[in-house]
Amino acid sequence: MNIKEAIDLYKCASTKELSKIANDIVKKNYSDDVFIRGLIEFSNYCDMDCLYCGIRKSNGKAVRYRLTDEEVIDTVKFGLDANIKTFVLQSGEDYKYNVEKLSKLVYKIKKITGAETAITLSCGLMNRDDYKELKDSGCDRYLMRFETSDENLYSYLKKGQSLKTRLKGLENLKNLGFEVGSGFMVGLPGETIETGINNALLCKELELDMIGIGPFIPHDETPLKKEAPGSLDTILRTTALLRILLPYSNIPATTATGSIDALGREKALSCGANVLMPNITPAKYKKNYLIYPGKICLDESGSECISRLSERVVSVGKKISYERGDSISYTIMKQ
| Mean pLDDT computed over 259-278 | 96
161 in any annotated domain: yes
Which H/E stretch holds residue 320? Answer: strand 319-321
Q: Which residues contact 176 (CB under 8 A, 6 or more apart)?
A: 128, 131, 132, 135
| Mean pLDDT computed over 195-201 | 96
Q: What is the pLDDT of residue 310?
A: 84
1 in any annotated domain: no
Count of H helices and E strands in the chain? 15, 9
Q: Euclidean distance between the first and final Cα of the chain, in Å?
A: 24
Confidence at 302, pLDDT banded by 50, 70, 90 = confident
- How many domains would you assign to the chain? 1
Q: Which residues contact 209 (CB under 8 A, 6 or more apart)?
A: 141, 179, 180, 181, 249, 250, 326, 327, 329, 330
Tens digit of pLDDT for each residue in 74-110? 999 999 999 999 999 999 999 899 999 999 999 999 9
At 223, which amino acid appears?
P
110 in any annotated domain: yes
Reduced to 3 states (helix: H, G, I; strand: E, B; else coil), residue 184 is: strand
Distance, CA of 306 to chain centre = 18
Return d(Cα 83, Cα 65) in angstroms, integer: 27
What is the pLDDT of the chain when averaged over all its residues?
95
Q: Which residues contact 91 (CB under 8 A, 6 or more apart)?
A: 41, 42, 43, 44, 45, 46, 97, 122, 123, 124
7 in any annotated domain: no
2 in any annotated domain: no
Closest CA to 143 of 107, 163, 165, 169: 169
Distance, CA of 116 to chain centre = 21
Reduced to 3 states (helix: H, G, I; strand: E, B; else coil), residue 264 is: helix
Domain of 60, CATH number, reads: 3.20.20.70
Return d(Cα 60, Cα 328) in angstroms, integer: 43
Tens digit of pLDDT for each residue in 19-66? 999 999 999 999 999 999 999 999 999 999 999 999 999 999 999 999
Tens digit of pLDDT for each residue in 137-150? 999 999 999 999 99
| Mean pLDDT computed over 294-310 | 82
3 in any annotated domain: no
Q: What is the pLDDT of residue 333?
A: 79
5 in any annotated domain: no
Confidence at 308, pLDDT banded by 50, 70, 90 = confident
**What range defines the domain where residue 316 resides?**
16-334
Q: What angle do CA 35, 39, 45 make, to 5 degrees?
A: 155
Q: How many percent of the chain have pLDDT more than 70?
A: 100
142 in any annotated domain: yes
Segment of 66-70, 293-297, 304-308 carrying the highest mean pLDDT:
66-70
Q: What is the pLDDT of residue 309?
A: 86
CB atoms within 10 A of CB 226: 9
